[in-house]
Chains A and B, each alone.
Chain A
Amino acid sequence: MREAIIRLRYRYWPDHWLGEILSKRWTETAIPVFVLLIVGFWLSQSIHNFLSLASLADTARQACEIGFISLGMALVVIVGGIDLSVGSMFALTDFCALFTLDVLGWPVPLVAAATVVCGMLLGAVNGILIGYLRLRAFITTLITLIIYRSAFDLLIQRYSNDIAAAFPDFPSWDFVGNGTVLGVPSVAILYIAVAIFGHIFLTRLRPGWHVTAIGGSRRSAYNSGVAVRRTIALCYVASGALTAVGALFFAARLGTVGGDIGVGLEITVLTATVLGGITLGGGRGSVAKSLVGTLIVLLIINGLTTLNARGGVNRIVLAGILLTAAIVDIRWLKNRSRIISKVYVSPTYLALPEPPATEIGGGGPFEQNDKLRSVSLIGLGRIEAPEDVILDRHDNLYAGSRHGDIIRFFPPDYERMEVFAHIGGQPLGMAFDRKDNLYVCIGGMGLYRIAPDGKVEKATDETNRSLYSVNDDSRLRLADDLDITDSGLVFFSEATVRYEMDEWPIDGLEARGNGRIICYDTNTGKTHTVLRGLKFPNGICVASDGQSILFAETWGCSVKRYWFDGPKKGAVETVIDNLPGYPDNINLASDGNYWLAVVGMRSPALDLAWKMPSFRLRMAKRVPGDEWLFPNINTGCVVKFNEAGKILESYWDLKGVNHPMITSMREHRGYLYLGGIANNRIGRYKLERANPNFVQYEKRWGKQ
């Protein structure tokens, strides 16, 4: 009963999402967003028409005006500076708009252009001083704040009466100030457009990268060839321009050049920027953060005002929320990576039946023996980590190595060897196609093709992103083994989508179906995922019927069959359900049966632990990683099974002296060639009763 509950809980509750969601970069903004939601909820409860369209539109107008300025400030802060002069620039550009409209009588488009240019010029002063003359941003913009403000004061002394006297009546001007499109204020539409562009700009466009790089490390950016000074200067120009856009809408809405326009605006904007999570000092920040920060600050100020709160109360509440949010946010950012490392590993429930007996004298197909004692060794000490071995029509033997090479041994004695091709990564599974191209699964890289002349080509490194996956699973992390169908489809397994190449054992601790089988079509060059949720899918072999593949699920201790064609297309069926160890590669035998490598034997301790997810969770949290309970992968065997999944025979090397580990095997002209990922040798075992002329790919596709 209890076990059933545990099973159901782990089957349906996606524990692993927590760690994956937290690993997303946008969760850095989680706290500000959370605060925004709380504030929004609280206001919608206390102000009865808070969520009405009219009220939201009113809020949006002001929020977007400030939002433009916040965007500019965000840009400047991300580039590693600060712009205190925004308030004064706001006032001056507001004046510029109204002066050109009311006093000079310019048409509205020209007014808009003039205002933005005015903002850019004001920003350019900052930009030149800070970017090119290398003045300190804080002190410089503090001084320009004073200068611009006094210039504004002098100007309105002279012109405020002229502006006050005019009541401009242009429909286009009113549209800028109060117009809506489908109920959305004009300013919001422009803001959304600018924000979307800003997001793309910062994350994907070259100048945006440069901005982030300069903020993150000025010297690194310079060394990378970024035009540091120009970029910084342009950021201040952009800040000026964005401020001018905000001021233009403000001018159109209210038409005022009152003396305290923009006073203290820099504080509001800076508060919004920091609250949104954009770090002073540079390098970190996004458009979304800027928006969230702006909304929080404005909602609090306006909401409390609407709730009849006096100015003082308003300030207390605002400051209280700001400080609380800042403290929580700092804790969060500080501990986020630690939390992720604690929660990313999320073991799940896996119950395996009692394994079949393997003891000597226990009988059964798995009974241990010492047949592999007599293997002869190839390339001892000269090769590292040959996970898979393969032989071509000319009896050449190929094996991958840890250094990313494909090594070729020459017959007849396989003493002579050469680096056939260098790819990098970790070559795992291999298979030949009809034209003798060697396809290789490279852990960490994907699927590669090596032409007979040794030329390396990438076949695929990307598949379609699945809809419900939190992690972006389009990147191939651990392509493992493959086989090729007659019609040119390459089926290959990816062992796990949650861990990188060098962390694969952790996947064994989780024992979740994190793996998948992917199909690469050599005819179209397209790649798509065919099966998901497999427990470390490993070996793949096209079955004799040519319509299905057999694949091994390592942590599932099972072999399954998947029909990619024919009447049962799409179906999956279990072939062997309870192996005594962890299956690895599968290959054809000369008699029409299949070879299966068993990489390691199950242990009662891990079998038990797999039924106790919370135990493994505690272990992952408290015990250092190298002392975790991992699947045992050092002794194993080779078994032969038939189409129905019946085990026919098994080959063991009990002492493990000669050939300690087996991850793969190939039958070729009466010999069985053995590979092992932890080995420094290749084994060669003389099979009795085997077809001495069996060449796997000749049998499949005929002689050439």
Chain B
Amino acid sequence: MKRFRITQQEIVFVVFAALFVFCSLFLKGFLTSANILALLQNVSVLGILGLAMAIVVIGGGIDISLIAALAVPPGLVLQMVQDGHSLSSSIVVAFAIAIAFGLVNGWLIAYAEVPSLFATLASGIFLAGLGQAFLFRVEVVQWSDGMAGFDRLGQASVFGVPMPIILLAATCLAVAFLLRRTRWGAYIYAVGDNRAAARVTGIPTRPIIVLQYVLAAVIGCFAGLVLAASVNSMPTRIFNSTLIYDVILVVVLGGIGLSGGRGGVVNVILGTLLIGTMLNGMTIMNLSYAAQNLVKGVVLLAAVIADTFINPRNEETAQQGDI
């Protein structure tokens, strides 16, 4: 009975492979090492954010405030350096803010028991507002001389591999290590799988939930620094964009169920690759942005529908509040 089942992860892999083969065959210039690197580089920030989201989703929550964590603390780094502070102290301040933000998120969700969707929605708005009102003078925080050298984080390359890809890979390894090899990783899975059981077993569920959101905020902040370094500015308006939806798609599409306790780094990589291949292929085809979105949406929908047909859910196995 088991072996006939194909998981969503495998479906996404099949779709990705098919797309990749299709693009390689029919698109001139797709299957070149330069383009593949460009493909990866274009989605590396998305991938890093996906890892942050994955930690939270595996732990049974969701973090809508990730984009605020991406935009505000790194923006502050640029702003502080612009105002004459040293780069290192600015980075320390930024990470301190990210950690504090994660703590607040975690507290709201674990202790005040506000549903994660709502808590992070509101806290994200709060952080974005804070940045907009008090931290930045203009929404696009520009690079300044004090940042010299820091742009290597986004623009350098090692052995021809652009830095963001290396950073994505490093984050993947770090997160995979955390989730698979450490006690806290095991706890995160346990909490996401069955929070009540984890509690009864004696796992400190609330601190673990707080930890998830702190990790997410810190990784989000890191992604923001990479983003800022690669475009030489921090467009904090990115908070208004629909980037968070792409992040959720990467995670969920990769096969990490929103119900928690399932999936891992592999799923994020898969989701990221699928999105990356699609976007890159369509950019090569010179499709307009709107058309790209349309195609992206339809392919995603097809993948999700395929999953439903292969792994049908019926009234017997349906979960309560299964959104």
CB contact list, A270-328 vs B, under 8 A: 270-271, 274, 280-282, 310-320, 322-323, 326-327
Q: Does B42 contact A (CB under 8 A)?
A: no
Per the bound structure, the CA–CA distance linking A311 and B289 in Å amounts to: 28
Q: Is the CB of A157 within 8 A of B313?
A: no
Q: Which of A142, A153, A330 has the most CB of B within 10 A?
A: A142
Contacting residue for B113 out of A144, A217, A282, A330, CB 8 A: A330
Residue of B nearest to A223 (CB): B315
Query: Which A residues touch B128, using CB under 8 A?
Result: 312, 315
**B135: min CB distance to chain A, Å:** 9
Per the bound structure, the CA–CA distance linking A319 and B129 in Å amounts to: 9
Q: Does B37 contact A (CB under 8 A)?
A: no
Per the bound structure, the CA–CA distance linking A186 and B318 in Å amounts to: 43
**A418: min CB distance to chain B, Å:** 48
CB contact list, B304-323 vs A, under 8 A: 304-305, 308-309, 312-316, 318, 320-323
A519-546 vs B, Cβ < 8 Å mask (1 yes, 0 no): 0000000000000000000000000000
Q: Does B133 contact A (CB under 8 A)?
A: yes
Q: Does B115 contact A (CB under 8 A)?
A: yes
Q: Is the CB of A267 within 8 A of B308?
A: no
Per the bound structure, the CA–CA distance linking A360 and B175 in Å amounts to: 88
**B93: min CB distance to chain A, Å:** 19
Per the bound structure, the CA–CA distance linking A146 and B304 in Å amounts to: 14
Q: Does A145 contact B (CB under 8 A)?
A: yes
Q: Is the CB of A274 within 8 A of B118?
A: yes
Q: Is the CB of A323 within 8 A of B249?
A: no
Q: Is the CB of A314 within 8 A of B129?
A: yes
Q: Is the CB of B297 within 8 A of A312?
A: no
A133-B308, A143-B300 given; A280·B125 CB < 8 A: no
**A344: min CB distance to chain B, Å:** 25
Per the bound structure, the CA–CA distance linking A228 and B314 in Å amounts to: 11
Contacting residue for B125 out of A129, A139, A315, CB 8 A: A315
Per the bound structure, the CA–CA distance linking A218 and B317 in Å amounts to: 11
**A227: min CB distance to chain B, Å:** 12
Contacting residue for A322 out of B122, B249, B308, B318, CB 8 A: B122
Main secondary structure of the interface of A (DSSP, over half): helix
Query: Which B residues touch A115, using CB under 8 A?
Result: none
A140-151 vs B, Cβ < 8 Å mask (1 yes, 0 no): 101111110111
Per the bound structure, the CA–CA distance linking A270 and B115 in Å amounts to: 13
Q: Is the CB of B322 within 8 A of A80?
A: yes
Query: Which B residues touch A316, using CB under 8 A?
Result: 126, 129-130, 133
A146-166 vs B, Cβ < 8 Å mask (1 yes, 0 no): 110111011001000000000
CB contact list, B111-125 vs A, under 8 A: 112-115, 117-119, 121-125
Query: Which A residues touch B301, using CB under 8 A?
Result: 129, 140, 143-144, 147
Query: Which A residues touch B118, using CB under 8 A?
Result: 271, 274, 280, 322, 326
Q: Does B96 contact A (CB under 8 A)?
A: no
Query: Which B residues touch A26, using CB under 8 A?
Result: none
Q: Is the CB of B112 within 8 A of A330?
A: yes
Per the bound structure, the CA–CA distance linking A310 and B139 in Å amounts to: 13
Q: Is the CB of A136 within 8 A of B322?
A: yes
Per the bound structure, the CA–CA distance linking A144 and B296 in Å amounts to: 11
Q: Is the CB of A219 within 8 A of B126?
A: no
Per the bound structure, the CA–CA distance linking A334 and B288 in Å amounts to: 50
Query: Which A residues touch B115, using CB under 8 A?
Result: 274, 280
A319-354 vs B, Cβ < 8 Å mask (1 yes, 0 no): 110110011001000100000000000000000000
Contacting residue for A142 out of B131, B248, B291, CB 8 A: B248
Per the bound structure, the CA–CA distance linking A111 and B252 in Å amounts to: 39
Q: Does B132 contact A (CB under 8 A)?
A: yes
Query: Which B residues touch A151, using CB under 8 A?
Result: 290, 294
Q: Is the CB of B294 within 8 A of A147?
A: yes
Per the bound structure, the CA–CA distance linking A151 and B121 in Å amounts to: 26
Q: Is the CB of B129 within 8 A of A330?
A: no
Place the interface of chain A in its size category.
35 or more
Residue of B nearest to A221 (CB): B315
Per the bound structure, the CA–CA distance linking A129 and B114 in Å amounts to: 29
Q: Is the CB of A134 within 8 A of B126?
A: no
Query: Which A residues touch B296, using CB under 8 A?
Result: 146
Q: Is the CB of B121 within 8 A of A134?
A: no
Q: Does B240 contact A (CB under 8 A)?
A: yes
Query: Which A residues touch B252, using CB under 8 A?
Result: 138-139, 142
Contacting residue for B320 out of A140, A222, A274, A281, CB 8 A: A281
**B241: min CB distance to chain A, Å:** 9
Per the bound structure, the CA–CA distance linking A263 and B243 in Å amounts to: 12
Q: Does A81 contact B (CB under 8 A)?
A: yes
Query: Which B residues touch A323, using CB under 8 A?
Result: 108, 114, 119, 122-123, 126
Q: Is the CB of A218 within 8 A of B315?
A: yes
Q: Is the CB of A312 within 8 A of B129?
A: yes
CB contact list, B123-167 vs A, under 8 A: 123-126, 128-134
CB contact list, A76-92 vs B, under 8 A: 80-82
Q: Does B285 contact A (CB under 8 A)?
A: no
Residue of A nearest to B129 (CB): A315
Q: Is the CB of B308 within 8 A of A135?
A: yes
Q: Is the CB of A310 within 8 A of B133?
A: yes
**B25: min CB distance to chain A, Å:** 26
Q: Does A428 contact B (CB under 8 A)?
A: no
Per the bound structure, the CA–CA distance linking A102 and B290 in Å amounts to: 23
Query: Which B residues touch A326, using CB under 8 A?
Result: 112, 114, 118-119, 122
A142-B248, A311-B132 given; A319·B315 CB < 8 A: no
Query: Which B residues touch A153, using CB under 8 A?
Result: 289-290, 293
Per the bound structure, the CA–CA distance linking A280 and B124 in Å amounts to: 19
Query: Which A residues touch B245, using CB under 8 A?
Result: 142, 145-146
Contacting residue for A133 out of B108, B297, B305, B320, CB 8 A: B305
Q: Does A589 contact B (CB under 8 A)?
A: no
Q: Does B6 contact A (CB under 8 A)?
A: no
Residue of A nearest to B318 (CB): A218
Per the bound structure, the CA–CA distance linking A102 and B67 in Å amounts to: 39
Residue of A nearest to B133 (CB): A312
A136-B258, A143-B297 given; A271·B122 CB < 8 A: yes
Residue of A nearest to B316 (CB): A219
**B10: min CB distance to chain A, Å:** 17
Q: Is the CB of A312 within 8 A of B318?
A: no
Per the bound structure, the CA–CA distance linking A150 and B128 in Å amounts to: 26
Query: Which A residues touch B318, using CB under 8 A?
Result: 134, 218-219
Q: Is the CB of B122 within 8 A of A80?
A: no
Query: Which B residues touch A489, using CB under 8 A?
Result: none
Per the bound structure, the CA–CA distance linking A307 and B288 in Å amounts to: 40
Q: Does B34 contact A (CB under 8 A)?
A: no
Q: Is the CB of B321 within 8 A of A282?
A: yes
Per the bound structure, the CA–CA distance linking A219 and B316 in Å amounts to: 7
Q: Does A137 contact B (CB under 8 A)?
A: yes
Q: Does B298 contact A (CB under 8 A)?
A: yes
Query: Which B residues touch A274, using CB under 8 A?
Result: 115, 117-118
Query: Which A residues touch B240, using CB under 8 A?
Result: 263-264
Query: Which A residues touch B291, using CB under 8 A?
Result: 150, 154
Contacting residue for A312 out of B113, B114, B132, B288, CB 8 A: B132
Contacting residue for B323 out of A80, A129, A217, A319, CB 8 A: A80
Q: Is the CB of A281 within 8 A of B321?
A: yes
Per the bound structure, the CA–CA distance linking A530 and B112 in Å amounts to: 50
Name 5 extra pairs, CB < 8 A, besides A143-B297, A143-B304, A319-B123: A134-B314, A139-B249, A146-B242, A315-B125, A315-B133
Closest 6 CB pairs of A and B: A315-B129, A312-B133, A312-B132, A281-B321, A153-B290, A150-B293
In the complex, 18 of the A-B residue pairs with CB atoms within 8 angstroms, ordered by the A residue number, are A133-B308, A139-B258, A142-B248, A143-B301, A146-B242, A146-B245, A146-B296, A147-B301, A150-B297, A157-B288, A218-B315, A274-B117, A280-B117, A318-B125, A318-B129, A319-B129, A323-B114, A327-B114
